[in-house]
Amino acid sequence: MESKKLTIREWLSFLLIGLAGQMAWAIENNDINLWVYSQTKDANWINLMTIFSAIAATLTTFLMGALSDRVGKRKPFIAFGYIIWGISVFSFGLFSYSNMAAQFGADKAPLMVGLFMVIMDCVMTFFGSTSNDACFNAYVTDITREDNRGKVESVLSVLPLFANILVVLLMGAFGATSTITKSDGTQPTVEENANGTAQPWFYFFLAFGLIVTAIGVVALFLLPKDSAKPNKEHSYWKDLLYG
């Protein structure tokens, strides 16, 4: 196979899209748990989010990966997927205890926060798995060759570490935490804790949501024209079953 040198544009696409995706996954895997606990003080919602998110991720990767192969398109799935992915990250900050209490009453606020967070976690997982797991990884395979794929995958493998460091640093900068401490030493109520932690988390989700969405917009111009050929030798459902 002929050797192919990767361009600066291709390396930039790997780094920007890869890092933004890993930051979003770091938030989904670690920080949403802290957020939902800060608003409900109920760890059972974390278990439910983990279960339904895992199911959504598995199904989405199979369904959307096979679909992108069939249509021979990666760019629109990645770019528009990241744009909506970023919006979903930002939306987490909207489902706070106070917002749910204003809509459904204080007695139902923790329940509604938990329900909406499970739903939004699945929505985020769908667009993240579509754009990153299924299509970005396929894009990397399309662009690279045997002689340079190992180098690219090595670089991509360290991005989760940098992503987690950036997320943790910005968590500290925004003051996002799961619990607050009262000056009199007593334990805060669910409402007190939720209201005391809501604003830092809102700005935290807003910042990262804007980053991921912005990378999606950049991807519209940065990613080259799709080189994958539509796979129509077999039916979509046959390829899906094989996968």
Predicted local distance difference test score (pLDDT) of residue 234: 65
Distance CA 218, CA 86 (A): 13
pTM score, whole prediction: 0.90
Predicted local distance difference test score (pLDDT) of residue 3: 57
Predicted local distance difference test score (pLDDT) of residue 1: 45
Q: State the 10-residue block means of pLDDT for the chain, 243 residues long.
A: 77 96 94 94 94 92 81 90 96 95 95 96 95 92 89 95 95 92 85 94 96 96 81 68 69
Predicted local distance difference test score (pLDDT) of residue 69: 76
